Amino acid sequence: MIRFPFLEEAGLSAAFISDKSDGDCSIRPEAEGTARRLLDPLGIDIDLVYRLRQVHGNHILDTKRFPALMGREKDYPEADGMITTEPGTALGISVADCAPVILFDPEAQVLAALHAGREGTLCNIAGKAVNLLVRDYACSVASIKALIGPCAGVCCYEVSESCAAQWQDQGLPRQGRYLDLGQANQSQLETAGLIRHNIVVVPHCTVCGDLFFSYRSGEISNRNLVVVML
């Protein structure tokens, strides 16, 4: 488990990502025990962690709209982002090369967790979330803290020419056919109004590093779990 002190020092009760040594923490039923063993020592009940069936889009839900129940994959709502204003609420995002993006306004006490892969980034899920926080939750772009977690780095995230062209059309950073997922989301957050020193990008590539599960490295089913708690 790797903790995110930037977010915990800002006021979150917990902020971390599981790693390979913690085991598969996907939403598959057979992974429930692994996630429970990870979270129980922290006093977090996996049955009360809000999770999603992530579909590589930019749909964002308020946690008041669905139950936080661990179960079969079809029990989870389809979306790629969650927002909560309820103290003690934990949000869980599953990743294995896609970028987890966490937004926290310590003044308004609002927390958002996003799954930003290639498609979600093309759909500007990070910018959309900031706009929602400001418009619907009385947040200020001056006070929102953001963390972009471990994801596929520009060193390894090679895509087809057509995908790279889509990225270029959106003005997102790349090096030829290699996409820069972390910097793309940082750019979108800054465009939405966030202050650069309030954004942290974790500089760890999940593909060429050996700390995290990576879809591109052949770990098709296993997932790392990001948990953040208000």
pLDDT band at 219 (very low <50, low <70, confident <90, very high): confident
Task: Summarize pLDDT for 154-194 with one digit per residue, the tens.
Answer: 999 999 999 999 999 989 989 999 999 999 999 999 999 99
Average pLDDT, the chain: 93
Q: Kindly report the number of other CB atoms within 10 A of residue 87's CB atom.
A: 10
- State how far the alpha carbon of 198 is from the alpha carbons of 7, 122, 164, 189, 190, in Å: 10, 22, 29, 10, 10
Domain count, the chain: 1
- State how far the alpha carbon of 139 is from the alpha carbons of 121, 125, 146, 147, 227, in Å: 22, 17, 13, 17, 21
What's the pLDDT at 67?
Answer: 64
Domain with residue 212: its CATH number is 3.60.140.10
The DSSP secondary-structure symbol of 77 reads P
Residue 107's domain spans which residues?
2-229
The reported pTM is 0.95
